Structure 1
Amino acid sequence: MKSKNIICRLWFFTLGTGMVSFFLASCTKNYAEYNTNPYNATREQMEADGYLIGRNFPIMINAVIPAADAGAGTTFVNSYQVAFNLAADCYSGYMGQANNWNGNTNNLTYGFNLQWVNEQFSLSGRLMNAWKQVEEATALSGDSLQFSVAQLIKITGMIRMTDSYGPVPYSQIPTGTFTPAYDSQESLYRTFIKELGEAADVLHKKGASAGKTLAPYDQIYAGDYMQWAKYANSLKLRLAIRMVYVDPANARLLAEEAVRHPAGLLDIVADGALQKPAAGLNFKNPLRTLTQDYNEARMGASMDSYLRGYKDPRIASFFLPSVIRPDEYVGVRTGINVVPALYQPFSRLNVSDDTGIPWMRASEVYFLRAEGALRGWNMNGNAQQLYEAGVQLSFAELGVNMPTGYLNDEILRPADYTDYTSGGAYSRTSMGGVSIRWRNSDTFQVNLERIITQKWIATYPNGQEAWTEFRRTGYPRLFPVALNRSGGTVDQAVQVRRLPYPLQQYQENGAQVEQAISLLGGPDNGGTRLWWDARPL
């Protein structure tokens, strides 16, 4: 009998923990007629209801933000905690912690745990593996719509990663190398923006009449391609604004392109991109476990200062009253000598297992447009109109009534912070801040601070985005750490600018890490600024 040869291609991903490799196989045609296992599903069966491609979307989404384990365990919680909660969520001023890992020498005091900082590399390995399977399958099926959605999810996750570290592996991962080169952040941003434009065009042109094949697998928009098109444009606007201090001409060009694209932008409450429960798919918000079961995540001192100072009722949507001061909200500073028993009675997060996790809300888009308009760009509205619309929409997104006169208040400012433990050792006077009311007569910087401060409140709990915008603009005014255990590599006043590369990357891909450091343009520590972090300090 003539032998039949089956030739397969394998892609390996070694970004995960340990030496685990992810792979997928793409084989030549005709193999099915040679050998079919009656106990396994055939390709035709797996393609029913879009399963063959669709099964990869929950994997990708939960690699952007871990929010479920198939076995309903807590691995996803631990993943989220070390990837984001013990970094960006606290660096953004949103949260503090009631634990003292490694004797308070950890990420929060800039004594970085080089095992923790590998988790985003593990997540990106899962993300890119699932994306590659979609890319392969849609190349065969010709489904450019599903591929475009996969592109948007991939870009969302990789933005979070590059905004944490700077140069990261991207373009070479699909080639199958065990030692992928790192791409510069500039090249990553330019690639992302190009891919976002292509996806927006495809989704807008083809999506309206395409049905919702992805509905059973899409925890963001339930398979609505037109919503994904709006998200693509909004994400492009976010990246364009991010480039304003390093490439202002292109930042304006790209922002105006995003605003005038016929698919539109996220504009109303229902447009918001939220990772949320969906029938048949596992979802649990990891913050609920971190704040209640682990008894660790707490309201941040900077949120305490701003929300109390502004008498902002959104505070009740975000946090719970403390135990240490009943009926009052009390935050925890980041970067202090934590004694767990003393700080556990501070304000927990107001979150449940089924609370959606925002990737991008429509209110953020209004604030992005407000900043563009403040800079003189064509954003379909003036800065004041867009700023006020963003504030109003933020309240609506949370189902909170905006107090009468909130937008006209010229008196309220962020409040002083009181630490009710240890004799108030970590109490701090307010860092300052702007009033809420818009005033055209104020300087550019004052009005920019207004926009970013309200965007910061509205973006909660997306700590990754909030930390990134703080680094880009210097706003809002966040309390610095009290204990700086960086050995002088991070300026306490300037605050942390990035995460250092993990020990595992040095061990497994050392030559490429050294090349990445040359692309970074500074030493591999938390004080080196990223490509877009070019504002004069």
Structure 2
Amino acid sequence: MKLLYKKIVLGFAFAGIVATGCSDQDYVDANTNPDILTEVPPENQFLSAVNSLESQDFEAYYDLYRRIMPWMQYVTPVNGNGANFTKNIDNFSQRYGRLYTGIGDALVDMEKLVEKMPEADQAKYVYMLRIERILKAYYAFYVSDIYGSIPYTEAWQARYGGTMTPVYDDQQSLFAKLDGEIKEAITTLKTTQTTPQTGLGNFDPYYKGDVTSWIKAGNALRLRMAMRLLKRDQSKAQTIINEVLSNESDLMQSNDEGWVFKGASGFTGGGNWNPDGLYATKPLVDFMWNNGDPRLDAFFSPNGYSQTNINALIATGDLPGGTTAPARRYLGSFTSPDDSKAAANAKYYTARTAKVNGADIRVDTLSLIQRRLFQPAFDEGSGVGTGVSYLPVITYAEFCFMRAELAARGLTGDDAETFYNAGVTASIEWYNEVAVDSKLSDYTALTGSQISDYLSQTGIAYDPSIGLDQIASQSFLNFFKQPAEGWALWKRTGMPNTTTVLALTDMKSSGVSLAIPRRAPLPLPSETSANYVNQKAAYDAMAKDAGFGAGPSDAFGRVWWDEQ
């Protein structure tokens, strides 16, 4: 796949996208007047939607770096987690609004542009519209995944004669509808058309419009949705699983077929993408170090105690002469607030300052995350990075781990060990590719027998008696760049936890174990809202589920699929 360079696209009329700062009248006009939709090629709208989907820097800043990643013990802030950090849900979540302004509206406009064409021309866009529907279904699923009921069936229709007050689709109905749309799209993409098709080409940053790749991506998405259904409707999940796995030629077979966005370093170059100050965690670092995980230096940086920095500290009398760099320079932060504030652990959070080549260098005992893994343009002091930005949707490794889990649960005829090994291998190789292309510092590229050596380690080598545990633990590691999916995995399986192969910490504040949020807090319905009646009806229906929580704003409650 070629790289997509984020830029201001002059001449592309991204019609239907309501920009921040537009007046209320602009918004009303854009949603009621179909003539505002300029005559532009439909594929422009697809690129617009992808750009909107992948450029969510507020989601990175608020949802991932400061909420989900600390909750899931992927990272901590510089001084460890605060006493009530799991209750901090300000500005969470950012994904909801983007569905209606930026993604869904652009993709609906894309369909309407085709509908306005002569019938003979419409026949050229059969495949393109099915690819569009897979993308729209993905993002609607992504939003509902943590919100529950959302407007979908009646959404985006106001300027085409539809309602300005759409009803909410409940999650059970929505998941079924989305699965049906993806299934129909895949079936159509597999059906030869009598009219030559217009391809998306470079307007598709994921697959350049390759139909076979989109068939595989659609099936992977159906399987991910089926995994969510295992807790609530295993019969429906089993039907989807059987359909998806019925033809191996329609399934991902390698990392090259993963659903991944690649952009230039500048695509994630803004300040909200900046991951500085996020520290590795003790549970992950200890597990990866103790087992010789080849991904360790792709995830985390060595701490500040290089020999160069040590020599500088010796020169200023901060360290005794003869001090040498430690054999282990990967150390993680305590994730429990009580542990990080304990007097005995203060030494880990006390940094020194070394004077190196006339510059003050912060020397930390703890490891930072590999910042260029999340922002390749990050300036580490030697200049702005120039690597590739990788933003995965569904990787081949995830697909393998799903198949491994289903096999371990006895829901398929697959061999769990085969797909577990394939998943671990794919994950290590994928992170190696990302690390090299993102130009990470202090990274040693994968060589020789590292993967086979890792897979032979006790606790890593597949053991059917703890197979589900191992699969979940490795899947969790694979989601390091997709922490929202790591969060979903934890909610879905209860793993990893304090007793799994990858053991997380019982995070305590003043001796009390902290609960972890499970869904997005919902905004309270306002009677002045035009859609108040439908919103309240949706909330009332969700509240009938015992797991919904104390009210709409209760982030510790559950959505429909996340059954207790």
TM-score normalized with structure 1 length = 0.74
SS at match of 1:276: strand
Quick one: distance in 2 between partners of 1:285 and 1:359? 20
- Corresponding residue for 2:106? 130
Quick one: distance in 1 between partners of 2:182 and 2:399? 16
Quick one: distance in 2 between partners of 1:42 and 1:249? 45
Quick one: distance in 2 between partners of 1:507 and 1:482? 41
Q: Provide closer, same or farther for how the CA distance between residues 493 and 129 of structure 1 changes in structure 2, counting only shifts above 3 A.
A: same
C-alpha RMSD of matched pairs (Å): 3.9
SS at match of 1:476: coil
- Corresponding residue for 1:246? 232
What residue identity is the alignment partner of 2:402?
Answer: L
SS at match of 1:357: strand
Quick one: distance in 2 between partners of 1:187 and 1:17? 34
Q: Deviations over 1:102-132 (max 9, x none)?
A: x9588x431321xx12522221122111111
How far the C-alpha of 1:235 sits from its partner, in A, is 0.8
Question: Is the aligned partner of 1:362 residue 2:396?
Answer: yes
Quick one: distance in 2 between partners of 1:209 and 1:306? 55
Q: Deviations over 1:232-280 (max 9, x none)?
A: 01110111122112111221111111111465111101001111127xx
Quick one: distance in 2 between partners of 1:315 and 1:252? 36
What residue identity is the alignment partner of 2:490?
Answer: F
Question: Is the aligned partner of 1:320 residue 2:301?
Answer: yes
- Corresponding residue for 1:309? 290
What residue identity is the alignment partner of 1:303?
Answer: L
Paired residues of 2:525 and 2:535 also in contact (CA < 8 A): no
What residue identity is the alignment partner of 1:120?
Answer: R
Paired residues of 1:99 and 1:296 also in contact (CA < 8 A): no
Paired residues of 1:16 and 1:121 also in contact (CA < 8 A): no
What residue identity is the alignment partner of 2:71?
Answer: Y
Question: Is the aligned partner of 1:406 residue 2:454?
Answer: yes
Q: How does 1:12-411 map to 2 (within 5 A)?
A: 21=27, 23=30, 43=39, 46=40, 52-66=41-55, 76-98=56-78, 108-113=85-90, 116-117=91-92, 119-125=94-100, 126-140=102-116, 141-142=122-123, 143-176=125-158, 177-206=163-192, 213-261=199-247, 264-277=250-263, 283-284=267-268, 289-291=273-275, 295-323=276-304, 328-332=329-333, 336=337, 345=364, 346-349=367-370, 350-351=372-373, 352-353=376-377, 354-379=388-413, 381-399=414-432, 400-401=446-447, 402-410=450-458
- Corresponding residue for 1:515? 537
Q: How many residues align?
A: 455
SS at match of 1:228: helix
Quick one: distance in 1 between partners of 2:527 and 2:289? 44
Q: Percent identity?
A: 21
Q: Provide closer, same or farther for how the CA distance between residues 99 and 405 of structure 1 changes in structure 2, counting only shifts above 3 A.
A: closer
Q: Deviations over 1:322-345 (max 9, x none)?
A: 337876233445674999x96994
Question: Is the aligned partner of 1:453 residue 2:457?
Answer: no
Q: Provide closer, same or farther for how the CA distance between residues 468 and 27 of structure 1 changes in structure 2, counting only shifts above 3 A.
A: closer
How far the C-alpha of 1:300 sits from its partner, in A, is 4.1
Quick one: distance in 1 between partners of 2:408 and 2:209? 35
Paired residues of 1:118 and 1:502 also in contact (CA < 8 A): no
5+ residue gaps, structure 1, are 1-9, 32-40, 47-51, 67-75, 411-434, 485-490
Q: Deviations over 1:262-303 (max 9, x none)?
A: 65111101001111127xx97336699422xxx243434443
Quick one: distance in 1 between partners of 2:527 and 2:369? 37
Q: Provide closer, same or farther for how the CA distance between residues 118 and 482 of structure 1 changes in structure 2, counting only shifts above 3 A.
A: same
Paired residues of 2:58 and 2:94 also in contact (CA < 8 A): no
What residue identity is the alignment partner of 1:408?
Answer: S
Could you tell which deviates more after superposition, 514-523 or 452-461?
514-523
Paired residues of 1:366 and 1:387 also in contact (CA < 8 A): yes
Paired residues of 1:96 and 1:299 also in contact (CA < 8 A): yes
TM-score normalized with structure 2 length = 0.71
SS at match of 1:93: coil
Could you tell which deviates more after superposition, 184-193 or 212-221?
212-221
What residue identity is the alignment partner of 2:72?
Answer: S
Paired residues of 1:12 and 1:178 also in contact (CA < 8 A): no
Quick one: distance in 2 between partners of 1:202 and 1:276? 27
Paired residues of 2:401 and 2:423 also in contact (CA < 8 A): yes
Larger Rg: 2
How far the C-alpha of 1:454 sits from its partner, in A, is 1.0
Quick one: distance in 1 between partners of 2:22 and 2:248? 42
How far the C-alpha of 1:314 sits from its partner, in A, is 0.5
